[in-house]
């Protein structure tokens, strides 16, 4: 049952991202993605607390019933939507060479962004399973603190940088914004492991996620600008899939690194791979025409 729920949830994940790209102009796309990311982060942060309280008050099945009602309530709104995808341009015989160029460009975009996703997913995933164990073994804290750590270090950190990330996407070369955020955030993934107290734990997780997640809007807008409208759904799907592949690979290596080279090894690997994910950006080009 859990697999079916996750499958259905991920099935519709890429469509909103493609729709936003289709209906937004180059000038407004970053802002649209910023607010979309905020709404997703706020919902993802609030829902577990509400679900836990509801389960305690009304029983363990109530959150599932509430989830069904909320998803069903959204369905009528989808009937009011119109298809936003633009039809691909028809190429003549004389434009054969041009068609090949477009195809090659499209495939290169898919490959480069997928490579970034796999490397970065690996860097994030390699510490995911061990962070609670590491924090508890080093500082002997309870589950409440670990929840607070993630709420502040990931949730709040990610929310507050979305609007600045959209502004940076509008003002600067998006490749450079991503390059700076990837490289600048990487040392803090390692510093987290060398925290001397719980305050530093929260601080280093907060800074690492805030800097890295500043890149969400530049990443998404550059990828969508470089992708034909008729292929945006597919590219979003490939992007999400490759990130999860990297994340799963990181999860798999996490315990191996911990057992083989000690509790700090996953954090060294995380810091290295997050920085490494900036290298494919050197092969990308800014698609936005300067005014």
User: 189: closest CA among 161, 206, 208?
Assistant: 208
Residue 178 confidence (pLDDT)? 96
Q: Please state, rounded to an integer, the average pLDDT across all residues of the chain.
A: 81
Q: Which CATH class is domain 1-83+98-284?
A: mainly alpha
93 to 97, 99, 100, 102, 230: CA distances (angstroms): 9, 9, 12, 15, 21
Residue 225 confidence (pLDDT)? 85
For 117-169, the pLDDT digits (tens) are 999 999 999 999 999 999 999 998 887 788 888 888 988 999 999 999 989 98
* Percent of residues, the chain, with pLDDT higher than 90: 41
Residue 87 confidence (pLDDT)? 53
Residue 54 confidence (pLDDT)? 76
pTM of the model: 0.80
Cα angle 237, 48, 191 (rounded to 5 degrees) comes to 75
Q: What is the mean pLDDT of residues 230-256?
A: 89
Residue 205 above 50 pLDDT? Answer: yes
Ramachandran region of residue 188, left (φ > 0), alpha (ψ -120 to 50) or beta? alpha
Residue 6 above 60 pLDDT? Answer: no
Residue 208 above 80 pLDDT? Answer: yes
């Amino acid at each position: 049952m859990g697999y079916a729920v996750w499958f259905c949830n991920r099935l519709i994940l890429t469509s909103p991202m493609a729709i936003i790209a289709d209906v937004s102009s180059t000038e407004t796309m970053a802002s649209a993605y910023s607010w979309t990311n905020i709404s997703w982060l706020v919902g993802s942060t609030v829902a577990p607390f509400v679900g836990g309280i509801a389960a305690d008050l009304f029983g363990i099945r109530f959150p599932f019933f509430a989830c069904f009602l909320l998803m069903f309530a959204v369905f009528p709104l989808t009937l009011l939507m119109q298809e936003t995808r633009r039809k691909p341009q028809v190429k003549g015989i004389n434009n054969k060479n041009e068609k090949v160029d477009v195809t090659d460009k499209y495939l290169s975009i898919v490959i480069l962004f997928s490579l970034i996703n796999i490397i970065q997913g690996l860097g994030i995933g390699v510490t995911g399973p061990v962070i609670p164990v590491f924090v508890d073994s080093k500082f002997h804290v309870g589950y409440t603190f670990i929840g607070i750590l993630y709420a502040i270090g990931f949730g709040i950190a990610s929310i507050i940088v979305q609007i600045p990330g959209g502004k940076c996407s509008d003002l600067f070369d998006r490749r450079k914004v991503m390059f700076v955020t990837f490289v600048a955030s990487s040392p803090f993934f390692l510093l987290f492991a060398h925290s001397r107290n719980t305050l530093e734990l929260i601080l280093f997780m907060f800074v690492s996620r805030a800097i890295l997640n500043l890149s969400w809007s530049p990443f998404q807008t550059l990828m969508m600008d470089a992708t034909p409208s008729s292929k945006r759904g597919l590219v979003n799907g490939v992007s999400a899939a490759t990130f999860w592949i990297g994340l799963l690979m990181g999860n798999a290596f996490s315990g191996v690194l911990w057992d083989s080279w000690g509790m700090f090894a996953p954090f060294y690997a995380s810091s290295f791979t997050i920085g490494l994910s900036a290298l494919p950006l050197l092969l990308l080009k800014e698609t936005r025409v300067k005014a």
